[in-house]
A and B are shown apart, each in its own frame.
Chain A
Amino acid sequence: MALLEMRNIVKEFPGVRALDGVTFDLQAGEFHALVGENGAGKSTLMKVLSGVYPFGTYSGEILVDDEMKRFANIRAAENAGIAIIFQELSLVKELTVGENIFLGREPSRFGVIDSALLYKRASELLNHLNLPINPRTQIGNLGIGQQQLVEIAKALSQNAKILVLDEPTAALTESEVETLFGILDELKSRGVGMIYISHKLGEVFRMSDRITVLRDGKTVGTNRMSDLTVEKIIALMVGREVGDIFPKSSHQFGETALEVKNLNVFDNDVPDKKLVNNISFSVRKGEVLGISGLMGAGRSELLMAIFGAWNGKNSGEIFVEGKKVAIHSPSEAIENGIGFVTEDRKRFGLLLEQTLLDNLTLAGLKRISGAFLTHRSRETIAAQKAMTDLHVKASSPFTVANTLSGGNQQKVVLGKWLLTNPKVLFLDEPTRGIDVGAKQEIYSEINKLAKEGLAIVMVSSELPEVMGLSDRILVLHEGQLTGEFTKAEATAEKVMARATGNI
């Protein structure tokens, strides 16, 4: 009898099918790893399981102990014994360990919390897990690793039978990882089933009984760990042909447009931690340089620092067309001919409630209009031309941005940067969350721009995209440059191996 079965789960977002008939099962006392590229559907699947996406927003069946479940919300899933620990911890920093563990379920009488009982139960629970943590400590005073352990204690206090861990070791030190694994082993022997999402294949190998690989929202296969090797897993993760949606074009590269030497980027909260560690690279006119790596590898931080938009400390030298430049702010980057199509268009890219014209001309306003006065007609002409060139589907430049589809919004962000007349263009996840048709249009635009002599640096989590478009690929792993491939050398397996640090 399976502890958990998920059958034929389908979950759609507008324009994207995130899960396409996924099947998954978990036995009591089993450690089951769930792996796949970024965007393969792992997190979405877990959100379906934990009631974040309630019944009715997906199709398919969820059975716990052979009983059909229809979770209306997270609480319903918790009551069925499912606990999920997300990448971003959901603890309240200002409350104590004990208060966090029982948040929303405080032992109380007539609404008055029985603190003594709360801390007694909390310390029993922590002792039971052999965690040397004082339940009266404020969460904010604990290290990230200990917070993770508190989160697990919280899950277990709800009598979880099924524990989902999403990249739990991303922020842990090695000794904290050992403590965590000790506890997980203990839980296993008690019959708790665990679903473990991780990019770290070493850990996956060490702990798992079985492994399920997801790709493009589909289950590629579930295998016993003993039947697999790291190479096989990587092949399963990336195993698809790089399709024809990447237009082929060959052209000559020009001189070096951008050169970066010894770039270091430091964490904002932990000043000693390097998010980008001594990276040097250059990109030539007409070249598309792809930057690959897993989430948290330091890719966006690298671009932000070069662009003068990183809020924390950074060091290194930047040369544009051979000339050393000092860039302290995005406006200086723009003056030096760098454009940056940022990730997450809704958060960093668009003025959602304003018109396409306002959005398109924002970054290049002084170039299009003048330093002090705006020039409506010149702006309209520029906006209309950008919309035509990029095939933005909207009735006029005066359409409000949030009425457009994701693909068209992305084209507007791209257009905004092209209107600054850049020499170097950064693209961060340029096709995230947009449909295939719009993707293809953006791909051919990138190719066209490169052909016209623009130097392009593209960060993408989608391996086929990086492989298909780039002339050269840099691979980052935990802030370090771990690989560099030309288009001819690169294979998905090689890139993935470097990105996961398995080399």
Chain B
Amino acid sequence: MNTSALRAYTMIGALALIWIYFHWATGSIFLTPRNLSNLMLQTSVTGILAVGMLMIIVSGNIDLSVGSVLGLAGGIAAIVLTNLGYGLVPAILAAIAVAVLIGIFQGALTAYLNIPAFIVTLGGLLAWRGAVKGITSSETIPIADATFKSLGQSYVSPNIGWILAAAAILFVLLMTFKHIKTIKEYELGEVNFTKEFLKSLLPIGAIVAFIYVMNSYAGVPIPVLILLAVALLGYFITNNTTFGRYLYAIGGNADAARLSGINNKLNVLKVFALLGALTGIASIIYTARVGSAAPDAGVLKELDAIAACVIGGASLMGGRGTIFGACLGALIMASLDNGMSLLNVRDFMQEIIKGSILVAAVGLDMAGKKQN
């Protein structure tokens, strides 16, 4: 088994242990449809940010400003909706556009002026937070638009959930079929139909279980649906595009990448813009869920996103990390939040525990690496 698969299984195991522990400690509250639905909702914003952050980290960069940018984009959406009275679409577009422009700006400073990403986005962390306070006059802007709020608060009906499940299962089968065809076409080896069939059962089972649990409560939450779409997009970019491959190359060895004909600067700019777009999407969900734009919206979200990537096996040196790992990392972080809240662990203790787990996870990873 290769190391990345081993890491994935280890993480799934860790998640299972955490869930079982909380289920036991909360007196069988944790693993109920209602709480799991809530847990998935809590994962959505961090998860979307983690997908973008993962690609930034893989390229050997970092973005500390996403929390502030999330606050700013959300604030702008609220102003466009509430103060200016425009509709839903202009609000969404404005939020995403602002976040993308900030991404391009910070990416350009990093890539073309060679200012380290850490410094650029540390400056951004302060400056964009200042901008949020400026445009909102440090006051919370309420949102009345029901459609906008539904983006963060509503659920798709159980029937649509099952239709989506059917589509997803069809997709899995199609990919399996394509995989078999490729093996045959390029003569990459013998096709083991039983093995391929069994391999596709795992994702199919996961899809059915997921929809079943979500439908047992109120259906799949819209933010979770958006997270799934973003995660799929991130998976596709990192695995199936030249852009994604180049990010790994740049993070793995920038000199070798450059000498292999890769435009390092342009690709770094692009990945910052991409994280900007995802931050814009996350800001809408965040604002819609809360139902208002507060001046402190998204504070410390950048650290949640970075922690999710790192727990998911990404290396801050660049060149290593997976979307699957980052999403699982986000789920682990949310599980800790959710479980500790159910147990009424006091706020300060929650923070100490989360911080310790982050460092311990990376410590274990390093110890495992040394043994290899």
What is A's interface to B at a CB cutoff of 8 Å?
307, 309, 329-331, 333-334, 340, 342, 347-354, 358, 362-363, 365-366, 369-374, 376-378, 380-381, 398, 416, 420
Q: Given A331-B262, A358-B248, A363-B261, do A350 and B256 touch, yes or no (CB 8 Å)?
A: yes
Q: How far is the CA of A144 from the CA of B265 in the complex (A)?
A: 33
B261 touches A330 (CB 8 A): yes
Complex contacts, A376 vs chain B, CB 8 Å: 182, 240
Bound-state Cα–Cα, A369 to B243, Å? 12
Residues of A near B242 (CB, < 8 A) are 365-366, 369-374
User: B319 near A353 (CB under 8 angstroms)?
Assistant: yes
The answer to whether B263 and A351 touch across the interface, beta carbons within 8 angstroms, is no
In the complex, what residue of chain B is closest to A350 when comparing beta carbons?
Answer: B256
The answer to whether residues A363 and B320 also contact, given A351-B253, A374-B245, A381-B186 and a CB cut-off of 8 A, is no
Contact B257 A362 (CB under 8 A): yes
Query: Does B258 lie at the interface of the complex (its beta carbon under 8 Å from any beta carbon of A)?
Result: yes
CA distance A362 to B253 in the complex (A): 12
Distance in angstroms between the alpha carbons of A309 and B264 in the assembled complex: 13
Contact A354–B252 (Cβ < 8 Å) = yes
**Could you show 8 A-B contacts with beta carbons less than 8 Å apart?**
A330-B261, A330-B262, A351-B252, A353-B319, A354-B248, A365-B242, A365-B246, A398-B2
Q: A-contacting residues of B (Cβ < 8 Å)?
A: 2, 182, 185-186, 188, 239-246, 248-249, 252-253, 255-263, 319-320
Tell whether, in the assembled complex, residue A330 and residue B259 are in contact, meaning their CB atoms are under 8 Å apart.
Answer: yes
Q: A365-B242, A416-B260 are in contact. Are A354 and B319 (CB under 8 A)?
A: yes
Which single residue of chain B is at the shortest CB-CB distance from A309? B259
For B3, give the chain A residue with the smallest CB separation: A400
Report if A373-B260 is in contact (Cβ < 8 Å); known contacts: A351-B248, A351-B249, A353-B252.
no
A71 to chain B, nearest CB (A): 28
Distance (Å) between the CB of A3 and the closest chain B CB?
A: 43
Interface centre among A333, A347, A348 (most CB of B within 10 A): A348
Q: How far is the CB of A64 from chain B (nearest CB, A)?
A: 38
Distance of A369 Cα from B244 Cα, bound (Å): 13
Distance between Cα atoms of A309 and B2 in the complex (Å): 35
A348 pairs with B263, CB closer than 8 A = no
Partner of A373, one of B240, B252, B257, B262: B240
Question: Shortest Cβ distance from A349 into chain B, in angstroms?
Answer: 6
* Residue from A362, A381, A398, A420 within 8 A of B249 (CB atoms): A362
Give min CB distance, A205 to chain B, whole Å. Answer: 40
B contact residues around A331 at 8 Å (CB) = 261-263
| A residues less than 8 Å from B260 (CB atoms) | 330, 362-363, 416
Minimal Cβ-Cβ distance residue in B for A413: B256
Nearest CB in chain B to that of A370: its residue:
B242
Distance A330 CA – B254 CA, assembled complex (angstroms): 13
- Complex: A351 Cα to B319 Cα, angstroms: 9
> Considering the chains assembled together, what is the distance between the CA atoms of A398 and B249 in angstroms?
15
Smallest CB separation, B262 vs chain A (Å): 7
Q: Across the interface, do A372 and B252 meet the contact criterion of CB distance under 8 Å?
A: no
Would you give the shortest CB distance from A347 to chain B, in whole angstroms?
A: 6
- Asked if residues B256 and A351 are in contact (CB atoms below 8 Å), the reply is yes
Q: Would you give the shortest CB distance from A164 to chain B, in whole angstroms?
A: 31
Chain B residues positioned under 8 Å from A371 (CB to CB):
242
A398 to chain B, nearest CB (A): 7
Partner of A348, one of B186, B249, B255: B255
Contact of A380 with B186 at beta-carbon distance under 8 Å, contacts A372-B241, A373-B242 already known = yes
Docked pose: A398 CA to B257 CA in angstroms: 19
Closest to A341 in B: B259
C-alpha gap A350/B239 in the complex (Å): 20
The CA-CA distance from A416 to B261 in the complex, in Å, is: 12
State the CA gap A340–B261 with chains docked (Å): 10
Q: Of residues B2, B186, B240, B256, which shows the largest number of chain A Cβ atoms within 10 Å of its Cβ?
A: B256
Q: In the complex, what residues of B have CB within 8 A of residue A398's CB?
A: 2
Name B261's contact: one of A329, A352, A372 (CB within 8 Å).
Answer: A329
In the bound complex, residues from chain A placing their C-beta under 8 Å from that of B256 are: 342, 347-351, 362
Given A331-B263, A348-B256: A365 in contact with B2 (beta carbons within 8 A)? no
**B319: which A residues are within 8 A, CB to CB?**
351, 353-354
Q: Please name the residue on chain A nearest to B258 by beta carbon.
A: A330
Which one of A340, A351, A369 has the highest number of Cβ atoms from chain B below 10 Å of its Cβ? A351
